[in-house]
Amino acid sequence: MAEWRDAQLSELIDIKHGFAFKGEFFADEPTSDILVTPGNFAIGGGFQLNKPKFYNGPVPKEYVLNPGDVIVTMTDLSKQADTLGFSAVVPAIKPRLLHNQRIGRLIAKDASANLGFIAWLMRTRPYRHEIVGGATGSTVKHTSPGRILAHRFKLPSPKEQQSIVDVLQPLDDKIELNRQMNETLEGMAQAIFRDWFVDFGPTRRKTAGEADPVAIMGGLTPDPARAAELAALFPSAVGDDGLPVGWKRLKLADIAAQGKGSVNPLGQPNKTFEHYSLPAFDKGQEPSMDAGSSIKSNKTPVPAGAILLSKLNPEILRVWLPNAYSNAAQIASTEFLVFLPKAGASRSLLFALFRDPDFRALMQGMVTGTSKSHQRISPPALLAQEVISADPKLFVAFEALVGVMLERLLASRAESKSLAETRDYLLPRLMSGAVRVAQKVEAA
């Protein structure tokens, strides 16, 4: 550690404020520009593209962010200041990302400043304690460039800074790659569900005169034999009711049963529960492992093979696939409805149904309560709704295709959890010098 020196962030970087883009140009529909907000910072640091805020107006060139830029959030709306002061690296994505107000962009002012290293420094506990401890505001927490730049720390040599980045960044990159893959898998599952059960694509292509099984199935599989098997499951005509001949409207209660019951974790204080809560979902769909003594209210048991659907504020998409192979006792917040597929249906079918825009619109039209914190769905009323048009014999074929995708999704999520645990273990040790990166020896 002798070569590590005392340093202050103000020696190495400046922080440039963002631009106050005009609200009149904010857009609900997707545009080629996205305003970066504090919501784009993940808890623990890093970039996330949740609920993008689109913009359709004039943009000063100096406020367009570039891939690789390091940014920091200086405002936080959460009670615990979950993301205040955390850094993120701007990803390389197609929409332009705009440098919005209350977001700072790091600018190197010294040759020894490695912005990648500083980005990781801004995700360490000592830095965070200092920033949160000095925050202003009660409801909305704020920090400033001055407070951030005042942080003091031990700075390793430029070579070791880069070595630390080279250890940590690939872990984050793989987590992001997994996230993108999962997003693709979810999209594929959704596209199949909508083509089959909402748009009646295979039947409509048959009625239009299409005879090639691969084309009838919309190119879902290039294998003619497999495509022919699938195409044979769909009627060749639409009835007077607008449904494929022989199909009928099914209620949610026809394909799913609500899991009920109650668990009092306080009655088992030494037992560890896999706890599915709204904050855990919003943090990255990773349940917390909590001792019964720390859980102060009753929860709903989560049986194997269940799926969770939030009944609170249904305009927010919260559909959760619990780990079906967990050895821990699984419990869920009572704000989640627990559903189990009935015989013939599957968890994959419920997953795609609950994420479908038509189902979500149905839920939003059923809310009771006026304020956001009290808008909820009545489970009996939801179970009584007609939610899908189908011939149940198709459910087996749907599960054969989509079930594999969701298994890959869960495996990818488990890998990301392991990678995040490794990253979070190494970060404080690398940044303190407790763990050192072996340096390559150059050949003479």
Structural domain spans, the chain? 5-155
Q: Which of 342, 356, 344, 350 is nearest to 321 (CA)?
A: 350
Q: How many CA atoms lie within 13 A of 79 on its CB side?
A: 1
Give the global pTM. 0.88
User: Which positions ≥6 away from 337 have C-beta within 8 Å?
Assistant: 258, 308, 309, 310, 311, 377, 379, 382
Do residues 256 and 290 touch, judged by C-beta distance below 8 A?
no
Task: Decide: residue 245, CB within 10 A, 0-12 exposed, 13-18 middle, 19+ buried.
Answer: middle
pLDDT digits (tens, 9 = 90+) for 207-265: 999 999 999 999 999 999 999 999 999 999 999 999 999 999 999 999 999 999 999 99
Written as one string, the DSSP assignment of 36-53 is --GGGBPTTS-B---S-E
Note the helical H segments in 299-356: 347-355
The count of other CB atoms within 10 Å of the CB of residue 443 is 4
Helix and strand numbers (H, E) in the chain are 14, 22
CB 89 within 8 A of CB 165: no
Let me know: does 106 contact 66? Beta carbons within 8 Å.
no
- Other CB atoms within a 10 A radius of the CB of residue 96 amount to 14
| Dihedral, CA of residue 135, residue 168, residue 172 and residue 128, to nearest 10 | -10
Q: Which CATH class is domain 5-155?
A: alpha beta
Q: Identify the CA nearest to 131 among candidates 15, 52, 36.
A: 15
- Going from the C-alpha of 352 to that of each of 42, 216, 270, 307, the distances in angstroms are 26, 21, 37, 11
Q: Which residue has the tokens 């107000």?
A: 101
Per residue of the chain (444 residues), give pLDDT as tens: 668 999 999 999 999 999 999 999 999 899 999 999 999 999 899 998 877 899 999 999 999 999 999 999 999 988 788 899 999 999 998 899 999 999 999 999 977 789 999 999 999 999 999 999 999 998 899 999 999 999 999 999 999 999 999 999 999 999 999 999 999 999 999 999 999 999 999 999 999 999 999 999 999 999 999 999 999 999 999 999 999 999 999 999 999 999 999 999 999 999 999 999 998 998 889 899 999 999 999 999 999 999 999 998 888 899 999 987 788 999 999 999 999 999 999 999 999 999 999 999 999 999 887 666 667 889 999 999 999 999 999 999 999 999 999 999 999 999 999 999 999 999 999 999 999 987 664 544
